[in-house]
Chain A
Amino acid sequence: MKPADVAVIGGGPGGMAAAIAAKRAGAKRVLILERDSDLGGILPQCIHDGFGTFIMRERLTGPEYADHYKYLVADSGVECLLNTTVLEIDEDRTILAVNPDEGMLTVKSQAVILAMGCRERTRFQLLIPGTRPAGVFTAGAVQRLVNIEGYLPGKRAVILGSGDIGLIMARRLKLEGVEVEGVYEILPQPSGLTRNVVQCLHDYDIPLYLEHTITMIHGKKRVEGVTVSRVDAGRKPIPGSQRFVSCDTVVLSVGLIPENELSEKIGIMMDPVTGGPLVDEWMETSNAGIFACGNVLNVYDLVDYVTYTGETAGQGAARYIKGQLPERHPVRVNAGPGIRLVVPQQVTPARVVDPFSLYLRVEEARSNVRIAVKSGDMIIARRRERAVKPPEMIRLIISPERLKEAAEGEGLLVELVDEGGAAR
């Protein structure tokens, strides 16, 4: 049995930031368990730029962002077990894992940080009718094939879903000479960031069909085409609107799901809205000593935010093992009118020492609004926004002093209020 102070499950941007922060905050034996052969998570295949605009104040590519943290991990003395898959974590933080060198191994850690990230939704979770030919890929799989392994998936592609990876891959395939027939999105608005719609689709004249979906996949051995249809407000295909589109490749960018099989097995409390563990100001889950960060919590649209949550979890874990975390008396942070989700979902104001970041997503696109965080009748934070959109996550920072003024025992409510179109 291998002993550790802090064990981090997953070596992507969240896990790396958590491990470095735990080490810097005084944890001695910090261990990353990573199932891939290298650290970095998905970043090495995200060759486009735009990473780190907040943290580094420059637009790095994914591999550059990953390398930066890989070297920090190496320099900080964090130990890494690569090619190592964690099978189970029990309540007393004993980790059962497997790798090709040691076979089964167990790690007994004082604190655990869950940083497994997320994975892509597949064709079979969407139940797209049709045959089962080769040529149907998730966008991340295409990204790996093209950017790491050096293969193109086909010659003429249709992209379903306008998530960021789908938009990025539309541009990438076009640049590599693949014909990209179009991007089909079932919703009335794109699900990726606006900047990606502009720089990936508009720049390359790739059409975006909103309120459209694929209703059939055709082909025996290989995809021969798809049937696309317009959908109504209830997302149901409109009869008579079908059109056949010839293609040999279907790329799916239809959502990411936090990967929480391990978290659920431990029995920690989950948030049904985010699909991730319920966490507090230190990213500590309902089980004391077990922390979570990054995309296992909720899918962030910026790697910077993943890094921030990792740093918080790492510092929290170091404080935990040193007995520096006061007892929890959490109040709920509730998503009120206009807000779809909030992370963290609870807070113990007395435990907050640094500015407290709340991450939230709105329910629908609105303009001229105010985001308010209330405790009873008291407003403890607010911000005006000219425009808010569901794909663009909002980070709201609350000072510890303001937070401590919040009424004891009363929950916080985050809500979206109309500014009545008034100019600021």
Chain B
Amino acid sequence: MSKRNTSLTCILCPMSCMLELTMEDERVIQVSGNNCKLGPAYAEKEMINPTRILTTTVEIEGARISRLPVKTQEEIPKSMILACMREISRIKVKAPIRSGEVVLENVAGTGVNVVATRDLH
């Protein structure tokens, strides 16, 4: 078993805590530097399967602006971001639409839905 230390900036909130990690093989065994209890869980996920919320826009017809802001309802694996962007860029929606409404189900096979983040009439 080999132990090593590494560091990581937590991106969960604007505090941007600098987390100090102790790794044993590929496992996180200790985290310090976090100012809240979310830090250790973030560190673990970031080292093993980094995920992100993806936010972008889709074309909307019949509204007073031409783009509807959307996001993935949950985090998706970081490695799937570009595949998701490709699929999202192909959709077009019609007004009216409510914030939270699903505009695309199971984006790129991630099991995650894409939802509107704004009401547009």
Contacts and interface: CB of A to CB of B under 8 A. Distances in A.
Interface of A: 37, 44, 47-50, 53-54, 59, 61-64, 66-67, 146-150, 175-176, 193-195, 197-199, 203, 301-302, 386-387, 392
A61 B55 contact: yes
A147 B70 CA distance: 10
A176 B57 CA distance: 10
A64 B99 contact: yes
B13 to A, nearest CB: 4
Contacts of A48: 55
A149 B99 contact: no
Interface of B: 9-16, 18, 33, 52-53, 55-57, 59, 64-67, 69, 71, 78, 81-82, 85, 99, 117-119
A150 B66 contact: yes
B16 A63 contact: no
21 contacts: A47-B57, A49-B53, A49-B71, A53-B13, A59-B12, A63-B69, A63-B99, A63-B118, A64-B117, A66-B118, A146-B57, A147-B67, A149-B66, A150-B57, A193-B14, A194-B18, A195-B9, A197-B9, A198-B16, A301-B14, A392-B14
Contacts of A392: 14-16
B52 A67 contact: no
Given A61-B55, A147-B69, 20 more contacts: A44-B118, A47-B57, A47-B71, A48-B55, A49-B71, A53-B13, A63-B117, A67-B118, A67-B119, A149-B65, A175-B82, A176-B85, A193-B14, A193-B16, A194-B16, A195-B9, A198-B11, A198-B16, A203-B78, A386-B18
Closest 5 CB pairs of A and B: A63-B118, A194-B16, A47-B69, A195-B11, A150-B66
Nearest to B119: A67
A63 B59 CA distance: 16
Contacts of B16: 193-195, 198, 392
A20 B66 CA distance: 30
Given A47-B69, A386-B33, A59 B53 contact: yes
